[in-house]
Structures are given as structure tokens and as C-alpha cells.
A = this chain, B = another copy of it.
Amino acid sequence: MAVRAAVAGASGYAGGEVLRLLLAHPEVEIGALTGNSNAGQRLGGLQPHLLPLADRVLQETTADILAGHDVVFLALPHGQSAAVAEQLGPDVLVVDMGADFRLKDAADWESFYGSPHAGTWPYGLPELPGGRAALEGSRRIAVPGCYPTAVSLALFPAYAASLAENEAVIVAASGTSGAGKAAKPHLLGSEVMGSMSPYGVGGGHRHTPEMIQNLSAAAGERVSVSFTPTLAPMPRGILATCTAKAKPGVTAETVRAAYDKAFADEPFVHLLPEGQWPATASVYGSNAVQVQVALDEAAGRIIAISAIDNLTKGTAGGAVQSMNLALGLPEDTGLSTIGVAP
């Protein structure tokens, strides 16, 4: 079997990461690479870390160029995926690393993104309850947002086991690659090194409704989410600190048991031994998720913390994992749980 894959938006961070992973994927052959503003340029100048692709030249993002592949990864600005996907036909696996098809609720979409809802595709987070079944055989995949990946994996076991009240409070720190490769003054190295700063405070971040969607599904009731993202002085990584009030009678043991059970057979989610806490450096470049959980008895809250690489498990790794499921390949084909550290 040789799966032929195209990547639209190959000059950005998500596109570069999916190429990094596909280069190591034994069943995939890399086909067309496109990127509008950089069409005509060598990839070697744009993604100098992808040495085997250095002499490949970017093409325009058009349906003609993307056609004829088994899989097309879309790393496009919000709102552009639907038009491309429509032209690709139902037999092509289209993996959208943008936000367009993540939300089920059209009103949520319109409220947070300010444009008409394009629809909903199977959601690429296999670890969620029912997650794998939704992906098997699918030809459309909506890759989750990076924050929702980290947050949902940290908290869904507490909600699935009815251990937590339905108001979650989440603070997450992300590396700067989460903000993309477009040059903006506040993302300059001079500005971000040595600085922690919040953004999208007060409920406005677009990943909030996606977290609510996932946690509510696990809980079987509406979960409200207070989410504060912060920008951390590192290129990659998300550390999500997720807390919720424990329901009456919940003990450290019941919490631990729920998490043990939720992740027992997961190839990528690693519940750390008690006493050890996640660190983003440990999952640098890896598709692994480190999770730890504690019960603060004095405050009556469950504290679940996860660390992921925002570009790998948080974007391109999650995309490849979901692709594997959709194509009937072993879920971990071409993916690693080994980070690059220190």
C-alpha cells in the first residue's frame, strides 16, 4: 500500500509539521505541496529542517493540483477549507487542520468565528469516548484545536466518571508556534522571550466552545468553561492546568481509578506515576500526552494537568493518527511517543 498525500499550506507551521511526520510514515508517499503566497519557492528555504524535501517547489493551492491524491491535508486559514474540500470528491480523505468543521453548533460557530457555519466533520480526537468509531473509514476529518486537545484529554475522564461539577476553570500556556508563522510585532522573539502574557481573556478564545462541546459530551450535560490562554516563551508545547470542583464523596482513589481506566489502553496518553508531573519538554516533537491528576482536598477541586506538543499531538500528529484510523492502518503508524529532550 502506498498512500499518496498532498499538503495544502506547506509553508506554515502546521504544514511543516505534517510533512515532518509524513516523511517518517512508512505507508505514505508525499505528493503535491502547495502554498499560495510562497508558490514557486523551494521548500528548502521555507522549511530548512525538512532536508529530504529541500528541492521540492511549492505549487498554487488549486483543486487540480490537489486532485489525484489519496489524502489531502489542509493547513489553510479559517474559512478556506470548505471550498477546496468540495472539489476533491467523496473518496479522497480530506484532513482539515483548520477550525472550519470542528463545531457541531452553528450558532457557536457564527458567534466565535463570525462567518456562516460550513458543517461538521468527524472529530479527530480518538481518545474521546466513541472517538475511534467516528473516524474509522471516514473520508473527512476535522482535526481538533491544540488547546481543546490538551484540555479535553486532561478533563474528560473526570466528566465521563461523573466526578466533577460542571464548571471547569482552565489556564493553559502555549508555545509561540501556536500563533502561526505570520509576522506580527507581538510575536517577535524580542517580545516573547522572557515574557508570559495572557490573551483572549474572559471567554473570547475560539477554542472555548470546542472544549465545551467535548467536555459536555463526556459529562452528558452542559459543562461551562472558563478558559484563559497564555503565551509562553518557548516555540512549542502546551501545558493545560484544568480544574473543576469535585462532586461530593469523590476521593483521590476514585479520581486515580477513573484516569487509570480512561488511559489504560491508550497508545499516546501516558498517565504519569503519582508524584511526577507533566512537562512540555518531555513531549517535544512527540505525539505523546502526559497527564497527571490530583485532588486538592482543602479546596475541594480536581486538578488535571496535561502536556502536549501543540504542533504534534495538538495538530499534525493528531491529524496523522486520525488518518491512520480512517484508512484502516494501525493507529500509531509513523507516530512516536519519544520526545526530543533536553
Residues of A within 8 A of B (CB): 13, 16, 20, 23-24, 42, 44-45, 47-52, 54, 167, 169, 171, 173, 175-177, 179, 181-185, 187-199, 201-203, 208, 224-226, 228, 230, 232-237, 239, 241, 243, 245, 270, 272-273, 276-286, 288, 290, 292, 294-301, 303, 305, 307, 336-342
Would you call B48 and A282 a contact (CB within 8 A)?
yes
Q: Which residues of chain B come closer than 8 Å to A226, judged between CB atoms?
A: 243, 296, 299, 301, 303
Given contacts A42-B273, A228-B243, 11 further A-B contacts (CB under 8 A): A44-B276, A49-B338, A182-B185, A183-B188, A188-B188, A192-B193, A201-B292, A202-B295, A224-B299, A235-B342, A285-B285
Known: A20-B338, A195-B237, A224-B299. A49 touches B190 (CB 8 A): no
Partner of A190, one of B42, B235, B303: B235
Would you call B188 and A185 a contact (CB within 8 A)?
no
Partner of A189, one of B50, B54, B193: B193
Given the complex of chains A and B, what is the CA–CA distance between A52 and B285 in angstroms?
15
| A97 CB to nearest B CB, Å | 16
| A28 CB to nearest B CB, Å | 14
Would you call A228 and B188 a contact (CB within 8 A)?
no
Q: Which 4 pairs, one residue from A and one from B, show the smallest C-beta to C-beta distance?
A: A49-B339, A195-B281, A202-B294, A189-B192
Residue of B nearest to A226 (CB): B299
Would you call A196 and B280 a contact (CB within 8 A)?
yes
Q: Which residues of chain B come closer than 8 Å to A194, judged between CB atoms?
A: 175, 193-194, 234-237, 280-281, 284
Residue of B nearest to A275 (CB): B45
Residue of B nearest to A173 (CB): B196
Would you call B195 and A288 a contact (CB within 8 A)?
no
Given the complex of chains A and B, what is the CA–CA distance between A337 and B203 in angstroms?
30
Given the complex of chains A and B, what is the CA–CA distance between A131 and B249 in angstroms?
40
Given the complex of chains A and B, what is the CA–CA distance between A16 and B341 in angstroms?
8
Known: A198-B241, A201-B277, A202-B294. A341 touches B184 (CB 8 A): no
6 CB contacts below 8 A, A to B, read A48-B272, A51-B339, A193-B233, A196-B232, A198-B305, A235-B341
Q: Which residues of chain B come closer than 8 Å to A245, judged between CB atoms?
A: 167
Residue of B nearest to A188 (CB): B187
Residue of B nearest to A292 (CB): B201
Residue of B nearest to A19 (CB): B338
Q: Which residues of chain B come closer than 8 Å to A296, judged between CB atoms?
A: 201-203, 226
Given the complex of chains A and B, what is the CA–CA distance between A290 and B48 in angstroms?
10
Q: Which residues of chain B come closer than 8 Å to A208, judged between CB atoms?
A: 298
